[in-house]
């Protein structure tokens, strides 16, 4: 019985420790655009304060959504216009015009990673994009 309890405790600790890392998407953004990563991190810290577990969860959620929505929106079969509308809708208060400027610069040849500096809710952009893209093909 003691051995089983030790195994269960070990498994729980292993899961907890492995979950306390940046996701691969967050690592990509952190390694390639510290400015973009800091925008996401600062937003998560503002939202969750000293709840470090939730800050990490929010960073990972935002970074994963960012990478996922960019992958589908930039695919030739994707719909970039739906992405633009979603960014306008889910930009942080007062940030829509600067986000549109970032996209314009980005489309004009600016570094790919500047897109990560947009102040927005990437999870909601991904949700909105998927909802609208699905609906656009339904009729």
Question: Which pLDDT band holds residue 11 (cuts at 50, 70, 90)?
Answer: very low
Q: According to the model, what pLDDT value does residue 5 have?
A: 53
Q: According to the model, what pLDDT value does residue 13 have?
A: 42
Neighbours of 126 (CB within 10 A): 24
Query: Whole-number mean pLDDT of the chain?
Result: 89
Q: According to the model, what pLDDT value does residue 20 have?
A: 73
61 contact partners, CB below 8 Å, separation of at least 6: 123
Q: According to the model, what pLDDT value does residue 71 have?
A: 95
pLDDT digits over 46-92, tens only? 999 999 999 999 999 999 999 999 999 989 988 999 999 999 999 99
Higher pLDDT, 64 or 1: 64
Q: How much is the pTM?
A: 0.83
Q: According to the model, what pLDDT value does residue 2 have?
A: 58
* Interatomic CA distance for residues 117 and 128, integer angstroms: 19
Neighbours of 95 (CB within 10 A): 16
């Amino acid at each position: 019985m003691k051995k089983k309890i030790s195994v269960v405790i070990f498994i729980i600790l292993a899961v907890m420790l492995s979950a306390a890392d940046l996701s691969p998407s967050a690592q990509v953004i952190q390694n390639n655009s510290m400015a973009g990563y800091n925008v996401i991190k600062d937003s998560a810290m503002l939202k969750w304060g000293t709840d470090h577990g939730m800050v990490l969860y929010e960073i990972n959620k935002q970074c994963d959504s960012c990478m996922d929505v960019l992958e589908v929106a930039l695919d030739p079969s994707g719909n970039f216009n739906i992405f633009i509308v979603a960014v306008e809708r889910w930009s942080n208060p007062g940030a829509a015009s600067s986000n549109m400027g970032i996209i314009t610069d980005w489309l004009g040849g600016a570094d790919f990673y500047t897109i990560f500096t947009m102040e927005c809710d990437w999870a909601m952009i991904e949700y909105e994009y998927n909802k609208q893209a699905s609906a656009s093909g339904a009729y």
